[in-house]
Amino acid sequence: MSSAYLQCIEEGCQARQDPRREEYLCSVCGGLLEVRYDFRRFDPEAIRRTWHQRRLSGEPIDRSGVWRFRELIDFLEPGARIISLSEGSTPLVGTRRAGWWAGPVHLTIKHQGNNPTGSFKDLGMTACITRAASRDVQMVACASTGNTSSSMAAYASRAGMKSLLFVPYRQISAAKLAQALDFGAIVVEVGDTFDEAFRLLREIAPELDLYLVNSVNPFRIEGQKTIVAEMLEQRAWRPPDYIVVPGGNLGNASALGKGLRELKELGFIEKVPRIIVIQAQGANPFYRTLESGSSNLIPVENPHTEATAIRIGRPANWKKARRVLEWSGGLCESVTDEEIFEAKRVLAEDGVGCEPASAATVAGVRKLCRAGRIERHADVVAVLTGNQLKDTDYIMRHRSASEESRQRMQVEPNLQALRKALESLLAVTA
């Protein structure tokens, strides 16, 4: 068995924290914490076989694409109740048209929209809510642009907890808000941006004894990091050249890097893929910070983008993400909303639907290829973080009048009118 502990990520501190205490920040310097392990020695080949065999198991814990890799997230006491909705086990899909458009590159999609609540957040939430349940937490809380809220509400409901959600006023997809409400979350609309809502939540949380499940909670990262174990297993443990993710609060980039670092240290892989973070041009504080060479975050005070899932101006995990890019030799790019829309359209031609923030990955690959920063025919895995139905208003908003007339028509309920309408529609699309 391994023993887990919390450690500050700040190079000048790196103080260990007691894992039994519910802390989000270092008690010495105020830096972010991460879960570390004193891993026991084991044979990677034997563990790979164990992970593969669990795919055939009927046990609920083994049907989870997170807990199937439980040797990598060994932070629970024996016998702890696992809060799971069979998350993970998401597909790796080839996209020939989108790959040619973006590069050409060999592009495959790791689609996290196939999770129970439709986003990658479920990977972190099963770990985070399981941790909360082991501490007898009664109420969990988050600030959210949408996906975290629906995931938190679902897993809290599963665990028998109450959930409290802070969202910026009228800045969240109706579909995502509906999910959270359906799972019983208490919703507070406050402030104009995610960053403002998150700041207020962090200030009031201690007064109300709220357990925060945003990605500042280090146990969220533990669940999310298993995406790379599953991805590499699907690729017969052959790492790609690049793994590309959209960047909002930067928890996903942080988790990918942590997972890869541990897999390399444990002997599962030798080559490390370069991590690429793509941000929207109107909400790109991480990109601005790296481009300027600043040692401090350059925030975006009023972030704006139609890709609401990444509309964040002060990402909490930016230091973790910067460390990941430095370690992996990674890149960061910024794309416009128009470029995101075009990438989403091209993915749809391959039969792949996603929310706008997800399509930022493919838009970023195209831009980096055009700049010569990604080589032609590179092996690229793009992580799509959310389901197509997470923001249906976006789809309808962007449909042109000509597209509407080619695909949609109201017809009188008689055979003659129907025949005439179909002849007209099929002639247009021929």
**Average pLDDT of the chain to the nearest whole number:** 93
- Comparing 24-33, 258-267, 307-316, 346-355, the range with the smallest average pLDDT is 24-33
Is 61 within the bounds of a domain?
no
Q: Indicate whether 71 pLDDT > 90.
A: yes
Say how far apart CA 238 and CA 227 lie, in whole Å. 15
pLDDT given for residue 1 in this prediction = 43
Whether the Cβ atoms of residue 212 and residue 202 lie closer than 8 Å to each other = yes
Instruction: Write the DSSP symbol of residue 81.
Output: P
Neighbours of 412 (CB within 10 A): 10
- 358 and 235 housed in the same domain: yes
Residues 342 and 425 in one domain: no
The domain that contains 299 carries what CATH number?
3.40.50.1100
Which residues form the domain of 423? 401-429
pLDDT higher than threshold 80 for residue 174 = yes
pLDDT higher than threshold 80 for residue 302: yes
**Rounded to whole angstroms, how far apart are CA atoms 368 and 333?**
8
SS3 33: strand
For residues 386 and 413, membership in a common domain is answered with: no
pLDDT given at position 410: 83
230 pLDDT higher than 50: yes
Inside any domain, residue 43 = no
141 pLDDT higher than 90: yes
- What is the reported pLDDT for 114? 96
- Residue with the two structure tokens 């975290």: 148
Place of tokens 């689609």: 111
Both structure tokens of 54: 């669990």
Does the structure show a pLDDT above 80 at 18? no
- Count up the domains in the chain and report the number: 2
Could you tell me which residue, 412 or 125, shows the higher pLDDT? 125
The Cα 228–Cα 358 span in angstroms is: 17
Query: Within a domain: residue 140?
Result: no
Instruction: Report whether the peptide linkage leading into residue 104 is cis, meaning its omega lies within 30 degrees of zero.
Output: yes
Name the band, by pLDDT with cuts 50, 70 and 90, for residue 391.
confident
Q: Which residue has the tokens 């795919």?
A: 55
Instruction: Give residue 427's pLDDT band: very low, low, confident or very high (50, 70, 90).
Output: confident
Residue 145 has pLDDT above 60, yes or no: yes
**279 to 109, 256, 359, 364: CA distances (angstroms):** 18, 16, 11, 8
Weakest-pLDDT range from 6-10, 17-21, 137-141, 371-375: 17-21
Strand partners, 384: 111
Instruction: Identify the CA nearest to 260 among candidates 277, 280, 278, 237.
Output: 237
Are the CB atoms for 35 and 254 separated by under 8 Å? Answer: no
pLDDT tens digits along 256-281:
999 999 999 999 999 999 999 999 99
What H or E segment, with its residue span, contains residue 47? Answer: helix 44-54
Distance of CA 32 to the CA centre of its chain: 19
- Asked if residue 245 and residue 107 are part of one domain, the reply reads yes
* Mean pLDDT to the nearest integer, 239-256: 97
- The reply to whether 301 and 409 lie within a common domain is no
pLDDT grade for 405, boundaries at 50, 70 and 90: low
Q: What is the pLDDT of residue 409?
A: 74
pLDDT exceeds 90 at position 404: no
User: In angstroms, how far is the first alpha carbon of the chain from the final one?
Assistant: 63
Residue with token string 């249906």: 392
pLDDT of residue 260: 98
239 and 373 co-located in one domain:
yes
Rounded-to-5 percentages of helix, strand, coil across the chain:
45, 15, 40
* pLDDT confidence band for 422 (50 / 70 / 90): confident
In this predicted structure, what is the pLDDT of residue 200? 95
Distances (CA, A) of 179 to 155, 160, 163, 175, 283: 12, 17, 13, 6, 25
Kindly state whether residue 367 falls inside one of the protein's structural domains.
yes
Tokens of 23: 């802390």
Percentage of the chain lying above the pLDDT 90 cut: 82
Q: What is the mean pLDDT of residues 220-238?
A: 97
pLDDT of residue 8: 94
Does residue 156 fall inside a structural domain?
A: no
247 and 377 in a common domain: yes
The verdict on residue 240 lying in a domain is yes
Q: What is the pLDDT at residue 395?
A: 81
Same domain, 259 and 296: yes
User: Does 257 share its domain with 306?
Assistant: yes
Q: At what angle do helices 318-328 and 251-265 cross, to 10 degrees?
A: 40
For residue 53, being part of any structural domain is answered with no
> Is 333 within the bounds of a domain?
yes
The stretch 129-133 carries a mean pLDDT of: 96
Look at residue 2 in the predicted model and tell me its pLDDT.
Answer: 53
pLDDT reading at 328 higher than 90? yes
Helix axes 356-370, 337-349, angle to 10 degrees: 100
425 and 384 in a common domain = no
More confident residue, 279 or 402: 279
Question: 383 and 324, same structural domain?
Answer: yes
Q: What percent of the chain has pLDDT over 70?
A: 97
Max CA pair span of the chain: 78
Tokens of 275: 């991590």
Range with the poorest average pLDDT among 21-25, 198-202, 236-240, 351-355 = 21-25
The answer on 235 and 338 residing in a single domain is yes
